[in-house]
Structure 1
Amino acid sequence: MDYRPLGRSGIEVSAICLGTMTWGTQNTEQEGFAQMDLARERGVTFFDAAEMYPVPPSAETYGRTEEIVGNWLQSRACRDEIVVATKVTGPGSRFPYIRDGACRLDRKNIEAAIDTSLQRLKTDYVDLYQLHWPDRSTNIFGQLGYHPDPDDQSVPLAETLAVLDDLVKAGKVRTVGLSNETPWGTMSFLKLAELGKGPRMVSVQNPYSLLNRSFEVGQAEVAIREDCRLLAYAPIAAGVLSGKYLDGAQPAGARLTLYPQNSRYRTATSEPAVRKYVDLARRHDLRPEVMANAFVVSRPFATASIVGATSLEQLEIQLSAAEVQLSQEVLEGIEAIHAEHTIPCP
């Protein structure tokens, strides 16, 4: 396992991060424990959660994922070995059960969110606390074009950063990061930190995979020059890059079979690209999902690839990507496909 600096925080994390968002819906607590045990055995030191997990979110399961992580940390007595990341929920009408449906990235919400996350995680501090998505209206979650909202009344970034600063000073948070953020937002937070307005962001957790390399446009340069690198989520595009959904297949128990409404990566434009990536991997005796994840891990602007699984077999496969070095021929093949299918899934 490769270990990398988390921005300028002084914290090191494994290049593979264990995603947790299925624990509490598709996975039981016992299965989550088994995944964390296996990941730890394989050298993973970085777990990522969120207060709104599991996904798909609901009032009945809200916070359950953090509880499972917390129960495991307590039972294994290994808190100091694991870099624990979680997130505060951004604004939106989908969560009437979170703080009475009035989620914002303001003092009241962030302070309430961190305190309840710490209780569920059974810890005194979170290593990395992330803003799950911006408070302002911007182009995220698959929207490439930017359409400004003239009525946008977002919480000022400086106000949000000031709250995070207080959490760091109180010892509740070691360092902070962004998620689903744009180049403008990232640079704005970094500029505020340079002006002494709060802690410096150390990472940006955004989607990145062979089907969505939009991070490379603008964000990649920021990531490298500012040491605020990518924590890539959906590195195998919700399993689509394994090829298991090709030709309309509906594998029993698979995520997009159970939740077809979450089919961001399973589209008419993605199918031809997926087929070519799958064929490329098989020509080189690689599992398609391993090739896809190894590509993400190899990017110079990435700190970690966040892998998720619903079985130990799937997790073993994803963890193996940390040991795979893609050949120049494979990399050239990937670029050729990318030139033809540049961003099939935003």
Structure 2
Amino acid sequence: MNWIDTAAVYGLGHSEELVGKAIAGLPRAQRPYVFTKAGLVWEPEDPAASPRRIMKPASVRREVEESLRRLGVDHIDLYQVHYPDTGESLEYAGGGFGAVSPNATPLEKYWQVMADLKAEGKVRAIGLSNHTPDLLKAAERIAHVEVIQPPFSAINRSAAAEIAWAEAHGTGVIVYSPMQSGLLTGTFTAERAANLGADDWRSSHHDFTTGLTANLALAEALRPVAARHGVSVAEVAIAWTLAWPGLTGAIVGARTTRQVDGWIGAGSVTLTADDLAEIARAIGTTGAGQGPVRPA
């Protein structure tokens, strides 16, 4: 593994500080690439409040300087816009783009700032996370979109259009939530879903309520594929995303080393055409999620 994905908003700066400590003192040749993001701004005086989607030029410039300081680096390898600027608070990251405030910064303005940061050497590459194809097209007219970062899994397949756009434009694709927040790990259960706390966003989300039965049935259908390859269900779920043309990588997370052991081999799993057909049939049979059921 040679890269770390983080963001300023994760832990309200704490994640970047931890990454900075982890890479401090490493020779440049041994240091992993560091990717971080801008555009979710919190109020230091009220850290419990939902961060706002803000991409005003002055705000972005302040954010990049703060990220450089927390990370302890002289440049950021990939700097991404977390969400389109709506000027509003972020509720749940997977819950859509929400209403656009009159205070929102147009994409044309904030993408130009990102291009300027690259020209100045503060960042080496720029990307857009959670941006729709129409926004990607608009950004490309200003500066090349080098990377996109959409959510994508065998359950949430709605970003297929963005991935196709990226492949056609020589744009890298890093997807997040390839295991759909734990549903495709092979260890999540209906009992666990029923015991989620009221303060856990999953307790009221469709994927973990009305869609839970179909989603768990899909995870179960991945077991025979996993058994044939001698890997875990989680590794099959991640490998399924990597099988899509144009995919560069998939972001995965873990709270324990044991969880890392459960998915670390996904990068070396190559699903066959028969595997992909079997998974496509399972998606159709279970009715899980939405979007194309297999790579083109």
Establish whether residue 97 from structure 1 lines up as the match of residue 32 from structure 2. no
The aligned residue for residue 157 of structure 1 is 107
Instruction: Give the aligned residue type for 1:108.
Output: A
The alpha-carbon deviation at position 278 of structure 1 amounts to 1.9
2:238 alignment partner, one of 289, 293, 300: 293
Establish whether residue 68 from structure 1 lines up as the match of residue 27 from structure 2. no
- Residues 1:318 and 1:45: Cα distance change in structure 2 (over 3 Å): same
CA distance in 2, matches of 1:98, 1:229: 37
The aligned residue for residue 247 of structure 1 is 190
Instruction: Give the aligned residue type for 2:219.
Output: Y
- Residues 1:340 and 1:69: Cα distance change in structure 2 (over 3 Å): same
Q: Secondary structure at the match of 2:117?
A: helix
Question: Share of identical aligned residues, percent?
Answer: 25
Higher strand share: 1
Q: RMSD of the TM alignment (CA)?
A: 3.1
Contact 1:290 1:318 in 2 (8 A): yes
2:212 alignment partner, one of 255, 258, 270: 270
CA distance in 1, matches of 2:197, 2:261: 22
CA distance in 1, matches of 2:286, 2:194: 25
Give the structure-2-normalised TM-score.
0.83
Matches within 5 A, 1:1-346: 44-54=1-11, 62-78=12-28, 81-90=31-40, 95-97=42-44, 104-136=54-86, 141-143=93-95, 152-193=102-143, 200-216=144-160, 218-249=161-192, 260-263=200-203, 264=205, 265-282=207-224, 284-285=226-227, 286-341=231-286, 344=289
CA distance in 2, matches of 1:337, 1:184: 31
- What stretches of structure 1 of length at least 5 have no aligned partner? 1-43, 55-61, 194-199
- Residues 1:135 and 1:257: Cα distance change in structure 2 (over 3 Å): same
1:118-176 Cα distance to aligned partner (Å, 9 max, x none): 000000000100001001489x94457x8875x64421222112222221122111110
The aligned residue for residue 40 of structure 1 is none
CA distance in 1, matches of 2:102, 2:109: 16
Give the structure-1-normalised TM-score.
0.72
- What stretches of structure 2 of length at least 5 have no aligned partner? 292-296
CA distance in 1, matches of 2:56, 2:178: 31
The alpha-carbon deviation at position 266 of structure 1 amounts to 2.0
1:228-256 Cα distance to aligned partner (Å, 9 max, x none): 2321101101111123222222699xxx6
